[in-house]
Amino acid sequence: MKTTGAIITEILETVGGRMNEWTRIADIAQSAGLTPEEINEGIMELLGDEEFRAEPEPFGHRTTEADKIYGPVIGGEQRHLIKWGA
Q: What's the CATH number where 78 sits? A: 1.10.10.10
pTM of the entire structure? 0.92
Consecutive H or E run containing 84: strand 81-84
User: pLDDT digits over 20-73, tens only?
Assistant: 999 999 999 999 999 999 999 999 999 999 999 999 999 989 999 999 999 999
Q: How many domains would you assign to the chain?
A: 1
Consecutive H or E run containing 73: strand 73-74
Give the bridge partners for 73, in sequence order.
Answer: 78
Q: How confident is the model at residue 85 (pLDDT cuts 50, 70, 90)?
A: confident
Sign of the CA dihedral running 49, 10, 20, 55:
negative
For residue 8, the enclosing domain spans 4-84
